[in-house]
Structure 1
Amino acid sequence: MSTFDQIFLKYYHSLLLYGLKFIRDENDVHDIVQEVFVTVWEKEKYTFSDAHLKSYLFNSVRNGCLNHIRHQSVVNKHIEKQELSLLINELNFYGSGEKSLIEKESLKEIYAAIESLPPKQKEMIELSRFEGLKNKEIAEKLGIPLRTVETRLFRALSGLRKVLTGKQIYILLNLVVRHKADNP
């Protein structure tokens, strides 16, 4: 058995477990560890002393995992931008009175979430989002302090963010914008 084979057998499992501390997907970690061993083979790093080699292997796996995480973050941001762009395009396309499929699917969940709010928070959402009133106008209409309106509205929106997805929040806010534009 060659020196490289011995090194592979000695460290592969440990490196795989080490990589799983950073990344949960075993297939991704397997690929990273394999790439580290390819580099060791191509650059003949298996001739290093045992202590130096071990340090090199674990550092390489850690760096490979961190690079993978950074790359996934960029990919995820790109996917979110693409999804949001598609959503915006669809909302604009169907903006002439007919609701998009996304809106139809989400509206029930949005309205159910609003209905589940405490009555005073629900009232704040309805006045600010559906009637288009500003916080000061709500305070005057209800005869309560502006700070109370702000607090109730903040709590209502925080509650909605906990139960709705980012897309549903976007749809809710977009419907308000369109509602205001349709009813000046």
Structure 2
Amino acid sequence: MSDFDSIFRNYHQVLVVYAYKFVLDEEAALDVVQDVFTHVWEKQKFDFEEEHLKAYLFNATRNTCLNFLKHQKVRQTHDEFVKLKSLEVQHYASGEKSLIEKESLDKIHRAIAALPAKYREVIELSRFEGLKNKEIAEQLQIPLRTVETQLFRGLSLLREHLTKQEFKILLSIFSLNRK
């Protein structure tokens, strides 16, 4: 049996049923079998003897199904991660914070208030008002490099006075305000 059309007619339906047992979705099973036959066509794999051809087609279908399922699992994990990240952003944006987060925010605000005035002003303009360094330099009428230095030093001081978790909260607030 070396004619591709006859191979397709003889095995397509039975391979779709076989693939369905793995993926539990008719469209996905059809796609998997389509991929198998595309590979057979491209690689000219239809010159096998009947017994070897049947084994090849079933093994190729099984392997393609397993790859499909692995890919689905990766996509599902990614989708769950994106959903959780979205919920987290909504949580922080909505202002619903636990007592611990509120205490951390209070400590963060106290740490910012304790900064030297020049650092505090640059950090507030950059991080809370979302201005770019160039805009801050123009507004305060100071060189751009001075803005960058003051921002760096201010954040370094904050890092020294805050825990890692509090500093991460601070950075997440900054990223929300920059959007």
Mapped to 2, the partners of 1:43 and 1:65 lie a distance apart of 19
Q: State yes or no: 1:11 paired with 2:11.
A: yes
1:23 has 2:33 as partner: no
Q: 1:60 Cα shift? A: 0.5
What is the RMSD computed on CA atoms of the aligned residues? 1.8
Which of 1 and 2 has greater Rg? 2
Change over 3 Å in CA distance of 1:183–1:45 after alignment to 2: closer
Structure 1 counterpart of 2:21, one-letter code: K
Question: What one-letter code is carried by the residue in structure 2 that aligns with 1:4?
Answer: F
* 1:32-64 deviation per Cα after TM superposition (whole angstroms, max 9, x unaligned): 101111111111111111111100100011000
> After TM superposition, which residue ranges in structure 1, 4 or more long, deviate above 4 angstroms?
180-184
Equivalent residue for 1:53? 53
Q: Secondary structure at the match of 1:15?
A: helix
Work out the CA distance in 2 between the residues paired with 1:15 and 1:32.
9
Q: Secondary structure at the match of 1:47?
A: coil
Q: CA deviation at 1:94?
A: 1.3
Number of residues paired by the alignment? 103
Residues 134-173 of structure 1: CA deviation (Å, up to 9, x unaligned): xxxxxxxxxxxxxxxxxxxxxxxxxxxxxxxxxxxxxxxx
Aligned position for 1:76: 76
Alignment of 1:14-163 (within 5 A): 14-95=14-95, 99=96
2 CA distance for matches of 1:13 and 1:20?
A: 11
Aligned to 1:22, the other structure's residue is in SS state helix
CA drift of 1:25 comes to 1.2
C-alpha separation in 2, matches of 1:38 and 1:3: 14
Q: Distance in 1 between matches of 2:87 and 2:74?
A: 20
By relative contact order (CA 8 Å, sep 6+), the higher-ranking structure is 2
Letter in 2 for 1:34: Q
Percent sequence identity over aligned pairs = 42
Closer, same or farther: CA 45–183 of 1 in aligned 2, 3 Å: closer
Question: Deviation per CA, 1:64-90, whole angstroms, max 9, x where unpaired?
Answer: 000000000000000000000011111
- List gaps (5 residues or longer) in structure 1: 100-174
Q: For 1:179 and 1:86, how far apart are their aligned partners in 2?
A: 21
